[in-house]
Amino acid sequence: LKWRNHKAVTLAAVYAASGLLTASVCAMIGSVLPDILECRGVIEHRTITHWPWLWLGGMFLFWTIYKTSGTSPVYFYFLMCACAGALLHVAEDALSNGGVPVFSPYGEKTGFGIYKTCSLGEELSTLGMVAIFSLFGWVRGYFDADHILQQLADAGSFVDRLLHG
């Protein structure tokens, strides 16, 4: 997927699942990591940075630290959500024809072939997923004014703690 499509699908998916604006935005930022970390071809495309277990492990690690650390856990919350976003990136790539490595990071790639990367199918798949997730979030009341206002307030205090400890 293109970066903007990864961001859109990940933001919509995490918000539909959690209703948490801060977590969704952190995940959105993390959703471009698997491609950024390839450093423009230094690391072979869709290998170790697209290995789901790496991000699953990161999520678990930062969640554990987040739950047990007493001071400034906001950083670990951010890292945990970023890893979740990266994991979703891998899941989104897994829907393409190219697929991602499931077992060994440099091994055979598995893909569901729902869309072809950089095709009209990619754009339609993105629109479809964002629409479904948004509908799901809307049904759950995550687009109600009072919910959104609360989320904005939470996001504000998160940024404040991130910047000022």
**65 vs 67: CA distance, rounded Å:** 5
Site string for Zn ion, 42-81 (x = CB under 5 A): ----------------------------------------
**21 vs 26: CA distance, rounded Å:** 9
Q: CB of 128 within 8 A of CB of 65?
A: no
Q: Which stretch binds Zn ion (CB under 5 A): 26-34, 65-73, 115-123, 156-164?
A: 26-34
Total residues found in the chain within this entry: 165
Provide, rounded to whole angstroms, the least separation between the CB of residue 114 and Zn ion: 15
Residue 92 interacts with Zn ion (CB under 5 A)? no
Residue 93 interacts with Zn ion (CB under 5 A)? yes
Among 35, 55, 77, 126, binds Zn ion (CB under 5 A): 35
Tell me which residue of 9, 8, 19 sits closest to 143, measured CA to CA: 19
- Binding residues for Zn ion, rule: CB under 5 A, are 34-35, 93
